[in-house]
Amino acid sequence: MTPHIGAAPGSIAETVLMPGDPLRAEWAAKTFLDDPVCVNSVRGMSGFTGTWKGNRVTIHGSGMGMPSLSIYANELIREYGAKTLIRIGSCGAMQENVGLRDVILAMTASSLSTPSTGIFRELNFAPCADYGLLAAGVESAKRIGTPCHVGGIYSADVFYDERPDLNEIMTRHGILGVEMEAAELYNLAARHGVRALAVLTVSDHLLRHEALPAEDRQSSFGDMVQIALEAAFA
């Protein structure tokens, strides 16, 4: 038990999928896992453990933003022995060739700052995904026929961004999409020697000013969860 996770010892699997929204964690667990059991509800941040094709999996919310994810990822790794952490979440597209409902596999994650900035100080550390997970995710997307893009993303510190100049720079440098958690997840994975990947469904498009209707989001997110699970156990 930790300050933020009330799970009993041994109740968290070595493979953890981390959506930002705890309600999405519950939906994913009940949709994809066999015999899911709620193992955490501290502060409303739900976590469930079950099995997928005979493999133990935990699906645990991370909250919004890198500081929140850093708390849960640190505790999952250091106190519960998580070895593979895969972020499953939504993002906003920043390239014309990326469409709504497409999946982005984040090879790298740029940021202005992260909770790890105090450790790195003057170093511009380049956090990246685990290659094995990344390659397996690509193969999974091909198999199920989901449009998939691989490349760099941007992990933002704020949701209501007022830096159109920064968005233009990101787009010009090929950044595929923007979200708020992956860069710190990749930092922590590197620090603790575990595997990490961000699998992201495009729910909004910054250039076209398009967004998925609320009723379409849940069905579109299913492919992302399937890709994450298949990548984890490839």
**Which residues are documented as binding site for phosphate?**
20, 24, 43, 87-90
204 flagged as catalytic? yes
Count of Cβ atoms closer than 10 Å to residue 69 Cβ: 28
Per the listing, tokens 């929204």 go with: 21
Residues 184 and 182: their CA atoms lie apart, in Å, by 6
Q: Outline where DSSP puts E strands in 47-131.
A: 47-52, 55-60, 84-93, 103-111
DSSP string, 3-46: SS--PPTT-S-SEEEE-SSHHHHHHHHHHH-EEEEEEE-GGG--
Distances (CA, A) of 227 to 5, 40, 44, 103, 137: 26, 24, 26, 9, 6
- What is the distance of C-alpha 69 from the center of its chain? 10
Residue type, 45: M
Rg of the chain in Å (alpha carbons): 16
From the candidates 102, 130, 204, 223, which is the catalytic residue?
204
Beta bridge partners, 210, equal 205
Question: Residues with catalytic annotation?
Answer: 204
